[in-house]
Structure 1
Amino acid sequence: MTPTRPVGLVAWALGVGLVGWAALALAQSRGLHLAPVPPLVIVVELFLAAVVLVAGVRVRAYMQGKRPDLSGLQAARFVMLGKAASHTGAMLAGWYGAQALLALPMAGYESQHARALSAGIAALGGVALAAAGYFAERSGRIPPPGDGEQESAGRSVDPSGQSA
C-alpha cells in the first residue's frame, strides 16, 4: 500500500468537483435546481471526522508504546479507515464545492443563497474528513530504522557468538 499524498487528495477533489460542476451545469441548463444540502450531511461529516481523528490518536499512542491494549491488527484497520476517510472526504469536498460554486452566481435568490451556503459548509466538512483521515493514516507510519539499528543489522554473527 502506498501512502496517500496531499497532492493526490487535491487531485481527487478537483476531479470530482470538475465532473460534478459539469453535470450540475448541464442539469441546471435544463431547468433542474438542487435543494440546499441537508444539515444532517454536515453533522455526519463532522461526526465521522471526529471518529477518524480519535482513531488516529489511538494509533499514534500505540505506535509510541503508550497504548498496549490496542493490537497491531486494530491499528492497521484504523490506518485503512484513515485512508478511506481521506479519499471520501476529498470526493465530498469536490462534490459539494461544485454545488457551492454553481449556486454562487445566483446567490441573490434566497433558495440559491441557502444552497451555496449549505454546500460550502458541507465542502468544508469534506475537507475536515479528509484531513482527519490523512492524520489517521500517517499516525500508523513506521519510522525508518535509526543509525544504530542499521549498523547492527549489517553485522553478521559467527557461531561462537562474536561479531564479525
Structure 2
Amino acid sequence: MKARRTPVIYYFVALALGLLAGLGLSKYSQSTRTDLMGTPWIVPALLFFLGAAILIMAIQVHRYAKGERRRLDSRFAVNVLLLSKSLSLACSALLGWYGAQALMCLGRMEAPYYANVVLRCSVTALVCLVDVIIGIIGEWLCQLPPDDGPESPESKRNRRRRMVGAAGKTEDKGGQPSVRR
C-alpha cells in the first residue's frame, strides 16, 4: 500500500464547503431567530486535545521511521496516518464553519449574544487552524524513508554482509574472505 500526501486543494475545498455551510446556518439563524450559532467551550478544548494526541502519536511513528524506536505495530502507524489526514480535513471544514459564523456576527457585536458567538467561534476557528497544521505535520511525520530498491549500492552491501555472515566467513584487511577458526 502506498499512501499519498493529501493534495492542498482538498483543504481549500473543505474550507469552502465549511464556509458555505456556516454562512447558510448564520443566515437561517438570524432570519428565524433560532439559537443555532456558536459552540460550547468543550468543543475547542476537545479539538485541541485531539490534535495534541495525534501529534504525539505521529512523533512516535517518526521516531520509528528514523530508527530511534525498535518496534512499532504497522497498524498503529497506518491508523496515525489516517487520523492525521482526517484531522486536517475535518478541521479545515470546521474552520470554515466557525469562521463564517464569526464573520456573519461581526456587524452585530453590540448585542451580548452575538459578541459571545463571535468570541466562541473565533476561539474554535483558531483551534481548528492549529489542528489543520498539526494534521499536515502529522501526515509528514508518518512518511517512511524512501526505499532505494534492491539495486542500490547500500542494498548490495547489506546483502553481501548477510551472505558473508551466514557462510561463517569474515573479510581480512585486504578484502579477501577468510574462514573463521
User: 1:149 offset after TM fit, Å?
Assistant: 6.8
Tell me the equivalent position of 2:139: 137
Question: Compared with structure 1, are the counterparts of its residues 26 and 35 closer, same or farther at alpha carbon in structure 2 (3 Å cutoff)?
Answer: closer
Tell me the equivalent position of 2:88: 86
Mapped contact 1:62–1:75 kept (Cα < 8 A): no
Work out which structure has the larger RCO, using CA pairs closer than 8 Å and 6 or more positions apart in sequence.
1
User: 1:73 offset after TM fit, Å?
Assistant: 2.3
Tell me the equivalent position of 1:50: 52
5, 20, 23: which is aligned to 2:7? 5
> What whole-Å deviation, never above 9, does each CA across 1:109-148 have from its counterpart, x for those lacking one?
11101110110110111112221111111112234445x9
User: 1:41 offset after TM fit, Å?
Assistant: 0.8
Gaps of at least 5 residues in structure 1 are: 156-164
In percent, how many aligned pairs have the same letter?
25
Q: Which runs of 4+ in 1 moved over 3 A?
A: 33-36, 143-146, 148-153
Larger Rg computed on CA atoms: 2
Q: Which moved more, 1:136-145 or 1:71-80?
A: 136-145
SS state at 1:69 partner: coil
Q: Which moved more, 1:63-72 or 1:76-85?
A: 63-72
Tell me the equivalent position of 1:77: 79
37, 60, 73: which is aligned to 2:62? 60
Mapped contact 2:14–2:92 kept (Cα < 8 A): yes
Using structure 1 for the length normalisation, give the TM-score. Answer: 0.81
Give the alignment's Cα RMSD to 1 decimal.
Answer: 2.4
Question: Compared with structure 1, are the counterparts of its residues 93 and 60 closer, same or farther at alpha carbon in structure 2 (3 Å cutoff)?
Answer: same
Partner Cα distance (1:96, 1:13) in 2: 10
Partner Cα distance (2:39, 2:22) in 1: 15
Tell me the equivalent position of 1:20: 22
Mapped contact 2:81–2:142 kept (Cα < 8 A): yes
- Report the number of matched residues: 154
Using structure 2 for the length normalisation, give the TM-score. Answer: 0.75
Tell me the equivalent position of 1:98: 100
Partner Cα distance (2:42, 2:57) in 1: 22
Partner Cα distance (1:150, 1:139) in 2: 27
1:89 maps to a residue whose letter is C
Partner Cα distance (2:6, 2:106) in 1: 31
